[in-house]
Amino acid sequence: MGEFRSKFLEVYSLLKSELLHDSAFEFTDDSRQWVDRMLDYNVPGGKLNRGLSVIDSYKLLKQGEELSDDEVFLASALGWCIEWLQAYFLVLDDIMDNSVTRRGQPCWFRVPKVGMVAINDGIMLRNHVLRIIKNHFREKPYYVDLLDLFNEVEFQTASGQMIDLITTLEGEKDLSKYSLPLHHRIVQYKTGYYSFYLPVACALLMAGENLDNHNDVKNILIDMGIYFQVQDDYLDCFGHPDVIGKIGTDIEDFKCSWLVVKALELGDEQQKTLLHENYGKADEDCVAKVKDLYKALNLEGVFAEYESKSYEKLIKAIEVHPSDAVQAVLKSFLAKIYKRQK
């Protein structure tokens, strides 16, 4: 993806400039500066994996054909739409979770003078996605399909966020409702669709494909998203903060993590009681007890076995797909996440 990164970043500047001069609104200097700073702070700061995956996937679908400048631009624009969508989710997510930092800097709403203006900024970010699609794809035969795709994925993600939020409501901390099916449901909707399916779906639409014919691809990518989140849950506890770039807080936050679900499944009555007494408490001793229990249950080994089985299952599902180009796209996604450390 390195070959496209610099072009991809150039497209960000161009899209931002278009949005700051959108003829549907008369900007003042103050409002233009605000949006400019808000975008730079929230949109391009991550790893950009989701956005770059659109170009990567499109190139693989074209089976090594040289992409025209226009194709690279359009794939980049759709990639940035996903990054904008992600920024919208994260800005609002951080307010809901009362988070402190994001990507190594204070959350946007924590920045002096921003505060709750960040809610409207989130709404602006969501609207920017539609402006970008309108500006560059209105004349394309797949324009309506593109709008439909982004609307549906946003609805699925918001619904996943809802299950996550109502499961961890304060005052209703009940570990007994945590199970593998609930974990999968939250992950499928909250992460799977927008992080894994959406980039490939954008590339398929650009390549002239009908998404209704690719439900098998969607299912494989959702399974990949679940596998990715299980890795995330594992790294939150066992990864090194210097490597993963954040200090994990899933235990303190009472998250429906794969680790706690597995511990409830594998532990005896005494161990389950220890979990019920210590999980979800922001106390160092409680967190240490939970981590010791995870080690006693050999969850590191259980995870290693889960990782290799998931990989085998995904490879099998990919290899029965009739299209070599689609197989290449799916294998390239899997290669990026298999045995990752961060």
Question: In whole angstroms, how large is the CA radius of gyration of the chain?
Answer: 21
Q: For the domain 1-139, what is the CATH superfamily, name and number?
A: Farnesyl Diphosphate Synthase (1.10.600.10)
pLDDT tens for the chain, 342 residues long, are 567 888 999 999 999 999 999 999 999 999 999 999 999 999 998 889 999 999 999 999 999 789 999 999 999 999 999 999 999 999 999 999 888 888 888 999 999 999 999 999 999 999 999 999 999 999 999 999 999 999 999 999 999 999 988 887 766 778 988 999 999 999 999 999 999 999 999 999 999 999 999 999 999 999 999 999 999 999 989 887 767 666 778 898 899 999 999 999 999 999 999 999 999 998 999 999 999 999 999 999 999 999 999 999 999 999 999 999 999 999 999 998 888 777
CATH 3.40.1160.10 fits 143-341, yes or no: no
**Would you say 35 and 20 are in contact if contact means Cβ atoms under 8 Å apart?**
yes
- Rounded to 10°, the helix 258-266/215-238 angle is 80
Q: Coil, helix or strand for 106?
A: strand
Looking at the chain, the number of H-run helices and the number of E-run strands are 15, 2
Residues carrying CATH 1.10.600.10, the chain: 1-139, 143-341
